[in-house]
Amino acid sequence: MDIILAALKNSAILTGQLLLIILPLTISYEFLKHRQQTLEEKKWKIFGISSNGLVPLVTGVIIGLTYGAGVIIHSIRSSNMDKREAFLIMLFLSICHAIIEDTLIFVVIGANGIILVVTRFFLAFIFTYFAYRWLFFKKSR
C-alpha cells in the first residue's frame, strides 16, 4: 500500500509540474496569435522564411509540432507561402520544436536545459540555412 501511495504522490507532483509548464505555454500561444501583425513585420530572409511563415515557425518552436503544424497548414492555405518555404519551416521545427516545453520537461527529470536549447537551436539554424542555400541555388540554375 505504501508503494501505491508513494507512486500516486509522485505522479501528482509530476502532473502539477507539467501543468505549470504547459498552461503558460498555451496562454502564450493565444497571446502570439493576437500579436501576429507585429511579428509579421520581422523577416527571416537569410533562411528563406517570409513574414507569412514567421508566426507558424515561432508557434512551433514555442508550443510544438502539434499546434505548429495546424498553424502552418492554415498559413499555407490562406497566404502566398510556397512549398519551399513550408519545407524550410518544417525542417527547422523538426529539429527545434517545443523548445520551451520539451526543455522544461527534460530539466524536471534531470537534463541540462542550456545544452539542450543551444544544441537544438544551433542544429536547426545550420540545417535550415544550408537547405535554403541548396534550394535557392538549385532553383536559380
9-37 per-position pLDDT tens digit:
999 998 898 788 778 767 776 776 676 66
Q: How far apart are CA 10 and CA 15, in angstroms?
A: 8
Q: Compute the distance between CA of residue 110 and CA of residue 93 in angstroms, rounded to an integer.
A: 24
Q: For the chain, give every domain's residue range.
A: 2-140
Per-residue pLDDT for 68 more than 90?
no
3-state secondary structure of 64: coil
pTM reported for the whole predicted model: 0.64
C-alpha distance from residue 91 to each of 76, 82, 85, 119 (Å) = 15, 14, 10, 15
Residue 94, all three cell numbers = 523538426
